Each structure stands twice: as C-alpha cells, then as structure tokens.
Structure 1
Amino acid sequence: MQLGKLFYAMYKMKLLSPFSLYNLVAALLTCGVNVMALLRFAGKTYRNKVAFVDDYETVSYYELFLQAEALSIALHKSFQLTKGQKVGLLCRNHGSLVKSIFAVSRLGADIYLLNVEMSKDQLRNIFERQQFNLVIYDFELTSLLERANYKGTSIISCHDELPAINHLCGKSDDQLGKLPRTSMGKLILLTGGTTGKSKEVAHKPSLFNYLPPFLTLLTRVKLFNYKTGYIATPIFHGYGVAFMLLFIALGKKIVITKRFDATSACSLICEHQVEVVTVVPLMIRRMLKHNMEELTSLACIASGSAELTPNLVDEVFRKVGDVLYNLYGTSESGLNIIATPEDLKYSPKTLGKKINGVQVKLVDKNKKPVQEGVIGQFCMKNKWSMRNRSASWIETGDLGYQDKNGYYFLCGRADDMIVSAGINVYPFELEEVLLSHPNIEDVAVIGIQDEEFGQRLKAFVQLVKHTYLHEEELYGWLRPRIARYQVPKEIVFVESLPYTPLGKLDKKKLLTK
C-alpha cells in the first residue's frame, strides 16, 4: 500500500523515468535517509532550474546541493558535528538558513528551529534545557543571544566580513562524497514561542509516514500545477519548513525574504509571477489593502496558523478569485484538515475535511466523544505527528464540531471558553456576529470576572477606517442577534488589535486592558 502511494506520488511528479529513479536511489545510497538525500535528488534532477531567490542571491538546484554538501563537511570539520548532537537555528528566512537545514540533516544532528521573536527569558530557558553543540544565528540577533546568556559555540548565518555560514558554502567539488551515510536526526519545532513558555515538538521525517499529507497537497491543493512559490511565513514555523521541503521535492522556484512587508510582498509576487503563496490571514488582509492588482498571478493562497474570517474569504474571492485554501494543523500533529475554494464556498467558516491518514475525534471535558454538531476539543492521530510523546492521540486545545456533511469547524481555544451563570459561553460566537457588522474591521472577545454571573464577555472592536459607531448603537444592533448570556459586559473600541509575529491574535495582551 505504501509503495503504491509512493509510486503514485512519483507519477504525479513525473519522476518515474529511468533518469529520475536512478537519481533517487543514488541519493539514498550516498546520503542515507535524510533531507539532504531529497536535495541531492533535486540537484541532480532539476540542475539549472532556480531553487530559491532571497534578499541576497539566486541559486540553482545543483548549486544549492553543492553548497549545502560543502557546508555539511565544513560544519563536521570545524565544529565536530555528528549524529545525536544538537544545533539551534535562530534565523529568519534566507539562503543560509535553507542550506544549514540540509547540511545539519546530512550529519544526523538534531535541528532546533528557534523562534526569532522570542524574548531573552524564553530563549534563556531553552538554552538551559538544551545543551546545544552549535547555534547558528542572524547577526542582528547578536544582542538577543547575549542577553539570553548563551555561552556555547555559535556562528553567524550570513555576513560580508565576519566568519559566517555563507563563507563555508563555497568549497569545490572534490570535497563531495567524503561523509558517511547517515539517518536524519529529529526536527524540533517550538510552540508558544512568543506568548508563553515554549515547548519542544520533535518530528522524525519519514518517506512513507509523510506520504498522505504530501499527496493531499499535490492533489487537493494541486501544487504540481505551479512553477513558483513564495514562502511568506517563517521557515522556523512548521508550516513554512513543510512547504519548503515540498517545493524542493517538486523542483519549484522558491521566493523567500527575511521579513514580511505587504509592499515588498506584493511587488515580489508580481515580479516573479508567483502562483502559490503561504500566508497567515493577517498577511492576506494587508496585501489586499496595499495593492491587489499585483496579486493577479496567484492561483493558490495557502492560509494557515490562524483562523480565516468569512469577510476575508469573501474579499479574496471577489478581488483575486477562487484561489484560497485553508490549512489546519498544529506543531504537534502536523497537517490534518484542508478546505479548498469549493469547501469555503460551502461555508466560509469551515476548516474543510480531514486528509487521508488522519483520525479525528471531538471530545468533551471528560474525554468522551461528542455527537455530530456538538462542540468538543479536537484530538488528532496520524503517523506524521510529534515523536517525543507516548500517547497516540494528540489533544490540540482547539474547540470545534463536525457537521452532517463531514465538514469541520473551529470554535476557538478550549481555554477561551467561559462559564457564565452556569452556561458554557464561547467567545468565537460573539466574534462571528460582530464581524458581520459592516463597520467592524476586526474583533477579539475575552472572558472577564463578574460578581453576579462569575464570568462575562468583553469585546474589543476595531472599526473600518473612516467609519463611526457608538457603543449604545452597537449594543442595540447586537441584542436581537445573540442570546442574553452572550451580551458583552464591556465593549472597547481600539485603533488596532495585537497580533503575534506569526499572525495570531494575542488575546493575552488584552487581559491587561
């Protein structure tokens, strides 16, 4: 069954020729089972096709393979990196990060993708828990590294004059083939990297285990149809690194930049005629506001990591076309559910349907499965989930339900729910109603203490520019549309709402307002 899926994937990728099969076998025999084998295969197969364009350089697939292989040799010789050791990557999106991921994988060391937006205390906590053999970091993050009190071995990712990764990638061909075959170490992602104490989530990339999500992205999202992809989301996030590896396997031209900016993003999409882009909803909203005329080449907007709103779905469909896909997954469980444009037309609120190989159950607070249409916590089970845990089912902390047609819907976080006068109240329900008001641009609802009811809702409302709405007028509009227990105790009008660098609404910051 698994071999059949593998050959189906290769058929879709048009890789069943003798030449392609030879390159695949040679890559595995030379490198071992690691992502460097994937890059060697891509380098030999796609050769002079552009692999990526970043803020500094344009590199072909064969050049990328040669540079990453040379870097792995240099890291082994200079830092004695080997299997079982730990390497932290504290980098934004650029070529040195991409090359480092492949090079460290070739050596069998564990790769820790560190969030560059972490505070010094969060970073210090990770350094105390993990004894890194090497940290590769961006030069502009030097002070953060120092304030986090890191005393171990480190090297800059990219610099014109100082010792850096980019200077270790330019060795000659005669150095290739000197490393023994090895299996890949773990790829560790961090959760809660900006809003709380981070937790390590370990994944062990597997050729067979990752076939179901890979095939789903090929077929349901139709990634094999596109030539150029722009990874606007951070590679240190699971969403970003997954698409990077997938694009490499498919031989796509990848556009990456160190920072997302709506102006430059729109310009890059237009310049490179980008067909598929990975984003969070906040990025889509900002690009549409800046210049939707530069987005006409897009055939696939792959949105993830945060919830889409019906207003945004409708705006994309009207201004860009039927190109929006909603991807649902977590750092722990990986990709699980996808909504196609057709699914979002069925309901702009849906997460879509689960992908093959995923088991989903929705449970109540007692861990008992709930009935169809009843809200429960999402629990996931698949073969590509995190590997540093004993339980097979992963509790996501997200609430939702499944309708009679098999579509899943997100209803916020489990820790967002409040109990008001004995009734379970979900902030997302009030948020959805408020977002349907024509004068409201964005909204966030949290729970606050109340002497009479125990807890009540509090709404933070951002209005559309150049519009006005009085508090009593909004209350009057709300009351016939919601239940009494959903009426907010307070409504606060704000200029803007706080978001994390990953584009998630940061409700913790609202608790102090």
Structure 2
Amino acid sequence: MTLLCFASKKYGEKVVLVDDEESYSYSRLFTESQKLALCLRKEVQIGSNSKVAFLSKNHASLVKSIFATSRLGAELFFVNTQLSKNQFQQLIEFHKLDVIIYDDEFTTLIEQSNFQGVKIKTYHEHLPAINNFLQVIDPEFYRIPRTSSSKLTLFTSGTTGVPKKAIHKPTLFNYLNPFISFIDRLKVLNYHTAYIATPIYHGYGMAILLLFIPLGKKIIIRRKFDAAESCNLIREHRVEVITVVPTILKRLIETNKNDLKSLRCIASGGAKLNQKLINDTIGTLGKVLYNLYGTTEAGLNFIATPEDLIYSTSTIGKPIDGMKLKVLDLNMEEVEVGKVGQICIRNTWSMRNSEYRWIETGDLGYHDQNGYYFLGGRIDDMIISGGVNVYPSFVEQILTQHPSIEDAAVIGIDDDEFGQRLNAFLVIAKSASTVTKQEIQEWLRTKVSKFELPKEIEIVDELPYSALGKLDRKQLRHMSTQK
C-alpha cells in the first residue's frame, strides 16, 4: 500500500490497470484499495493476525484485495489455481486459513473442502463480494492503525507433491537490489505499457506487478491467457513489455508474429527456454528477449539479457547485485569452474521462514570462465547410469538442436544393466513427420556419451506443461509406466 500511495500521489489520473472489464487510474486504484481495507476490517474483522488466501485469476478485484489485506497486516497466501482437490484440502488443514477470497469458478473446490472460515467472492451481482464491499459502509468514519506485520506467502508449484510455502516480508529496502537490477538490465524506464500474461498468484507475476506500479506504468491483465486475444491486446495497446513463461511465448509467436512488433522487452521466467524458441524470437523480433531465473524461496537472482542469450542460448545470465551464491557438490564443497553442483543462494529478499541463511535451490548448475551461469536441471531429475551422473536437461538441450525436433523431455527409467537409463519424449515438427527414431538416435550418438544416449525414444503430440510453463515430469513418468 505504501508503493501504491506513493504512485497515486505522483501519477494521479494516469491509467495504471486495465483488466477484462475496465480501466483504473492510480488515484482510483489507491482510493478503492483503501476503502476496501476499511470495509474488510469492519465487516470481516481482518487484522494483523489473519490468514487470507487468494484463489483467483488476474483481475482488478484481486489486485485491490492484495493491497487492502496487506494494509491490514494480514498474512497473504497465494494459491495456485491448478491445485487438485487433495492438495487444496491439505493446504486448508495445514495452514488454518481464516479467509478465502476466490473467483466463482472455484466454488466447488472450496465447498468440497472442510474450510470453515470466511468465504468472499471476488465478483458477484448481489452476494457479499469484493466488488460489493465498497458499497457496504462509508469508510470515512474509520481509521486503520499502521502495521508492518503483513507477509506474502507463496507456494512451490506442487507438481511432484505437496506445495511448500515460502514466506516473504514485503519490506521495500530488502528488495532494492532486484528492483534496481530489473530496471537497469531490462531498461524498464524506457517503456510505458506492460502486459502481465503470467498468473499474479505466482511469485513472478506478483513481483512484476509490484515493480511496475511505482514506476508509473500501465499494466494490462486478463483472467486467462488466450494467444489470439493476447496478440490483439499487444497490437491495440502497443505493449512494450510482456511477462511470459516459454509456453506462452511459443503460442504468441505461432499465432501472429506481426502483432508482436511493438514489444521491446519480453521477460521470460518460471521455466527453461529452449534454443529454438530463443532463436525464433530473436530472429523475428530482434534483441528483446530476457531470461529471468528465480525461485519461490529465493526470489529473482539471475537475469540473462539478449546479448547474454546470443553468447549462449543455454545461459541464465549473471547474478544480480546484492546476492551471494555457491555451487556445491554432494559433500557441500564448492566446485570449480565448469563443474556441476547445486546452486545455493543467500540474499536479503529470500523467504523469511527458512532456518538457514543459505537457501539450497534444488537446481543443478555450473558457471564458465566468463562468469555466466547455466542450469543442469533439478537434483531429483539427475540419474546415475553405470555409475556416471547424467543430467536430463543437458540431453534435452542437445535434442532441441535437431532441425526436426520442436520440443524434448528426458526422464530416467530403471535398467537391469546400468541401474538407470534415459527415456526421451520428442515433439516432431509437422514439416519433418517422416524422421525416424533411428535417425535421431544416430544423430545424437555423435553428440553425447553412451550413458547419455536414450534407451528409448517416444514421439508424442505434445509435452505436459503446467499453467506456469513447467514441464510435468511426474506425468511423463506415468506415461512411461503405462506403455
């Protein structure tokens, strides 16, 4: 709310937010968020000890609710809208939530749980809802005591099990380094209109929202992503900055490249960019693609500029200022240049609920002699084949260099002789439908070691990705066992 208050005074009637229904000026967004805070305090008794969850798509009611409940000092829980019934039930039981602010489409999910707290819809014609709360009372008679107790709780994607939480304290001073690095490396001050195509409930979408508001930018959001509609939005509003995950970027380029000509900064995060997509984007739109690496626990930590991606399409770039990092082997010893280890991070903007100052990201990676960092996949994805460590992510990068392969995913499977071998799932380009598995095997044989050569290759129509663009390896393993 402090950021929004500052922006309201500075930018006034300038448009800040455009959703599916209407536009908001900075002044209106601040005034309505303040009034909503007062109404929620009086009608629902939300305060500094309250736990408030959001189960919502991207729209103005969500944005106002975030500012209002944060102003009241509540702990804010951002729930992935893709959670299963069982995952949502576990979240309810473990965190003892007081209030859920939710879209109507998630009513069944909530009603099937044992949640006993206050339920508030984001929109409704006549029932109590965020869009109706402003009409309940005249908030001029109430004042809210100042508080700094608010916390933002984000969750990991949960594709491999129960989502884990990461608590962040939204203190402006803690976030100066990523804030400044983002502005500087992405040249954000040069642009005026941004489109957040990623979910706000994800740490990435939330961070971009809070970064753009104090800079006086116009922010466009939509409840759901539709490639054709998004292309029209970009053309209509002459969008210069867009936040994407790789699957969103791929769909935009496939739908209408000409509508994307206004883009000057494509900020991709949340999942791995493959070489073909990077080359296609740069070849079509120029040097506009940025690769952002962060984690739910540790926040934003690496930025690869277009020049960095030209240096290497595999790099996540260089660390941002103000962070410390180590690449450690299994014995927790730092590895030398070029050797793979776990990336461990320490910074002021990481989660506040960790017992340790160093955060083990669970991501494998290495750095080269020029200070560029590269990912080697997740620790859980690494397999040991014939006593040799094999990184599926590396083999995936090689496979996507084949001119007939559009996308690739590699998992480990049990093998009697080697302990584990690789199983590759490939999406073949429509123009190359005649390519055979044997041809791909022979091509790959000259580029990887025998332990990295897949035992099996499967041709599929598409790979399973989450709404956040993360490859669902659990689903791939299920597909492998169903053969």
Q: Which bin holds the TM-score, normalised by the shorter protein?
A: over 0.9
Partners of 2:38 and 2:139 within 8 A in 1: no
Amino acid across the alignment from 1:275: E
Q: 1:379 aligns with which of 339, 344, 356?
A: 344
Corresponding residue number in structure 2 for 1:212: 177
Q: 1:392 aligns with which of 357, 365, 387?
A: 357
> Structure 2: how far apart are the matches of 1:78 and 1:193?
34
* Deviation of 1:433 (Å): 1.6
Corresponding residue number in structure 1 for 2:439: 473
- Kindly indicate whether residue 246 of structure 2 is the aligned counterpart of residue 287 of structure 1: no
Partners of 2:38 and 2:142 within 8 A in 1: no
Q: 2:305 aligns with which of 331, 337, 340?
A: 340
Partners of 1:117 and 1:194 within 8 A in 2: no
- Kindly indicate whether residue 407 of structure 2 is the aligned counterpart of residue 442 of structure 1: yes
Amino acid across the alignment from 1:427: P
Corresponding residue number in structure 2 for 1:71: 36
Amino acid across the alignment from 2:461: E
Amino acid across the alignment from 2:465: Y
Q: 1:458 aligns with which of 410, 423, 433?
A: 423
Q: 1:510 aligns with which of 472, 476, 479?
A: 476
Corresponding residue number in structure 2 for 1:262: 227
Amino acid across the alignment from 1:190: F
> Structure 2: how far apart are the matches of 1:415 and 1:249?
39
* Deviation of 1:169 (Å): 3.2
> Structure 2: how far apart are the matches of 1:407 and 1:51?
36
* Deviation of 1:218 (Å): 1.2
Corresponding residue number in structure 2 for 1:490: 456
Going from structure 1 to structure 2, the CA distance change for 1:323 and 1:233 (only over 3 Å counts) comes to same
> Structure 2: how far apart are the matches of 1:167 and 1:390?
42
* Deviation of 1:118 (Å): 0.4
Q: TM-score, normalised by structure 1?
A: 0.91
Gaps (5+ residues) in structure 2?
A: none
* Deviation of 1:424 (Å): 0.8
> Structure 2: how far apart are the matches of 1:371 and 1:431?
24
* Deviation of 1:151 (Å): 2.3
* Deviation of 1:299 (Å): 0.5
Gaps (5+ residues) in structure 1?
A: 1-35
> Structure 1: how far apart are the matches of 2:153 and 2:371?
32
Alignment of 1:61-460 (within 5 A): 61-169=26-134, 175=140, 178-460=143-425
Going from structure 1 to structure 2, the CA distance change for 1:170 and 1:467 (only over 3 Å counts) comes to farther
Q: Identity over aligned residues, as a percent?
A: 52
* Deviation of 1:173 (Å): 8.0
* Deviation of 1:161 (Å): 2.9
Amino acid across the alignment from 2:258: E
* Deviation of 1:263 (Å): 0.9
* Deviation of 1:193 (Å): 3.3
* Deviation of 1:159 (Å): 1.8
Aligned with 1:397: secondary structure?
strand
Aligned with 2:179: secondary structure?
helix
Partners of 2:239 and 2:262 within 8 A in 1: yes
Q: Deviations over 1:348-395 (max 9, x none)?
A: 111000000011110011111100110011000000000011201100
Corresponding residue number in structure 1 for 2:13: 48
Q: Deviations over 1:329-354 (max 9, x none)?
A: 00000000101111111111110000
Aligned with 2:360: secondary structure?
strand
* Deviation of 1:434 (Å): 1.1
Q: Deviations over 1:283-330 (max 9, x none)?
A: 111100000100011000000010111111111111011000010000
Going from structure 1 to structure 2, the CA distance change for 1:173 and 1:149 (only over 3 Å counts) comes to closer
Amino acid across the alignment from 2:460: V
Corresponding residue number in structure 2 for 1:6: none
> Structure 2: how far apart are the matches of 1:60 and 1:295?
26
Q: TM-score, normalised by structure 2?
A: 0.97
Aligned with 2:287: secondary structure?
coil
> Structure 2: how far apart are the matches of 1:493 and 1:153?
48
